[in-house]
Amino acid sequence: MADTKLLTEIHGGVMTLSLNRPAKLNAIDNDLARELLAAIAAAEGREDVRVLLLRGEGRAFCAGRDITNAPTQEDLVLVQAVARSLVELPKPVVAAVHGWTVGAGLEWMLDADIVIAAQNTRFRLPEASLGVFVTGGLAATLQAHAGLGRAKALMLLGREFSAAQAQAWGLVWDVVPDDELPSASNRLCSQLASLQPEVAARFKRVLNELGLPQFDRAIELENEAQRALGRSANQGRAV
């Protein structure tokens, strides 16, 4: 459909999922999250899909959650469900990012197995300044990639950083010129698609079990923190 918020294409064993709200810099609303969740589930059941490629249409990968409306419990459930699905999918997930990669967009990026970024990518985690908590298992994934000290600084300070910094800190596997991102990400996905599915699945499962042992706990704690901050905000408005 022309108004779909997620574009899906399958070619050469790769399912490409393109966030398709370019006028909103692919900000996440519930419809987009639901479509993405359904597409990931479909990918798991298809033998002709060996790799998932997540990307964004227009000038950005994803500018985070759409803050047009106040966050709801359903928002939290859907965002966390997508994160779990990306991590638990028994197939490699590649995120190809460019432009603004912010908040929940950055969080979903780190739920991928391999990240490739255009040189123009700009990252930021603004949640603390907005009075909300992070999602997507970021409390576990960011530490796993960047270490505890840098994770604290990136979350609490919310400063913008570049693709080169993201690569130096272990958040990104490769950085390429902006116009080479499509071809570079396609080559990477083709290499992954050439692996035996069971081999790729076992590598992902074992590495995640050892490298992200607290992912499920991170999701639980993020949910608790998000609800607690929401109650505090409501009480403050009532005073």
Q: Which of 127, 160, 220, 224 is catalytic?
A: 127
CB 92 within 8 A of CB 204: yes
Q: Please, are residues 57 and 7 in contact by the beta-carbon 8 Å criterion?
A: yes
> From the CB of residue 79, how many other CB atoms can be counted at a distance below 10 Å?
25
Catalytic residue check, 107: yes
Rounded CA separation 237/234 (Å): 5
- Residue 198 a catalytic site member: no
Which entry of 9, 47, 107, 180 is annotated as an active-site residue?
Answer: 107
d(CA 86, CA 120): 25
Task: Give the active site residues.
Answer: 107, 127
